[in-house]
Homo-oligomer: A and B are copies of this chain.
Amino acid sequence: MFASLFLTNIFWNMTSEERLKKQKDLIEEIGIYFDKEGFQPIAGRILGLLMVMDKERFTFDEIVEELQISKSSASITLRNLEMRGDIEYITLPGERKRYFQINRKDPLSVIEEFEKKIIKSKEIFDYVLELKEDQNSPNAVFFKELKSLTGLLLASFKKCKEEYKSSEK
C-alpha cells in the first residue's frame, strides 16, 4: 500500500502543495497502521503528524487544530504517548507551551523490544514443557523446536546490535 504510493511520486518534483497534500494523506495511512498495531486512532494520527510534517514540533493547540480533535482527547492521548516513550516534549525558555515531537530514541531499543518478546515466549515454552507428561508428544517436540529457534534469534539480534554499533562509529 505504501509501496504503491511511493512509486507514483518518485519520478517528478512535487510542488509544496502537492507535498503537503501527500503528507496529510500519509498521516491518515500511518494512523491506520498504528491502529492495527493496537494504538487508538487519535494516537496514531498524532504520531503520523509528528513523523511526516516538515515542521517537526507541535504545541498542544496546534495538534488540536491540525487534527480537529478535542482538547481532552489531545490531553489524554499526549500523556499516554509520552508515558509509553513514543513522544517527548521540550519547552522553550520564557514560554509556558510544550512542544511535542517524536522521541528519536536509540534505534537499538527497537531491537531490544524484539528481544524482550522473544524472551517472554521462550519462558512460556519452558514452562509448558516443564508441565508436559510426555516430553515426546507432538506439542512438546514442537515447543522444543520453537525454543531452539528463539536461541538462534537472540544470538542473531546480539550480532545485529554489534554490527549497528560498529557501523555508527
Quick check: is A104 within 8 A (CB to CB) of the other chain? yes
Inter-subunit contact A9/B130 (CB<8 Å): yes
| Chain A contact residues, CB within 8 Å of chain B | 2-3, 5-6, 9-10, 16, 19, 22-23, 26, 30, 33, 38, 51-52, 54, 56, 101-102, 104, 107, 110-111, 114, 120, 123-124, 126-128, 130-134, 137-139, 142-143, 145-146, 148-149, 152-153, 156-157, 159-160, 163-164, 167
**15 more CB-based (< 8 A) A-B contacts, given A26-B127, A52-B128, A110-B149:** A6-B126, A22-B131, A26-B131, A30-B124, A51-B128, A51-B143, A54-B137, A56-B137, A102-B139, A107-B149, A111-B153, A114-B114, A149-B164, A153-B160, A156-B163
